[in-house]
Structure 1
Amino acid sequence: MAGLTQDTPSPESITLHNKSRVLEVGFSDGKTFRIPFELMRVYSPSAEVQGHGPGQEVLQTGKREVAVMALEPVGNYAVQPTFSDGHDSGIFSWDYLYFLGSKEAELWADYNARLAAAGVDRDAPMPEKAGHACGSHH
Structure 2
Amino acid sequence: MAGLRSDTPSPESITLHGASRVLEVGFADGSVFRIPFELMRIFSPSAEVQGHGPGQEVLQTGKRDVEVVTLEPVGNYAVKPVFSDGHDSGIFSWDYLYFLGSQQAELWQDYERRLQEAGADRDAPMAGKAAHGGHSCGH
Structure 1: runs of 5 or more not aligned: none
Q: CA deviation at 1:2?
A: 9.3
After superposition, the CA RMSD in angstroms is: 1.8
Are 2:138 and 1:135 aligned? Answer: yes
Match of 2:25 in 1: 25
Conservation of the 8 A alpha-carbon contact between 2:66 and 2:84: yes
Match of 1:65 in 2: 65
Match of 1:87 in 2: 87
- Residues 1-138 of structure 1: pairs in structure 2 closer than 5 A: 4-129=4-129, 133-135=136-138
1:123 counterpart letter in structure 2: D
Report the TM-score, using the length of structure 1 for normalisation: 0.93
Structure 2: runs of 5 or more not aligned: none
Q: Percent identity?
A: 80
Q: Sort the Cα spacing of 1:126 and 1:23 in 2 relative to 1 into closer, same or farther, 3 A.
A: same
- Could you tell me how far apart the structure 1 residues matched to 2:95 and 2:18 are? 23
2:15 counterpart letter in structure 1: T
Q: Sort the Cα spacing of 1:133 and 1:112 in 2 relative to 1 into closer, same or farther, 3 A.
A: closer
Deviant stretches of 4+, over 3 Å: 130-133
Matched position secondary structure for 2:129: coil
Aligned length in residues: 136
Report the TM-score, using the length of structure 2 for normalisation: 0.92
Q: Sort the Cα spacing of 1:132 and 1:45 in 2 relative to 1 into closer, same or farther, 3 A.
A: closer
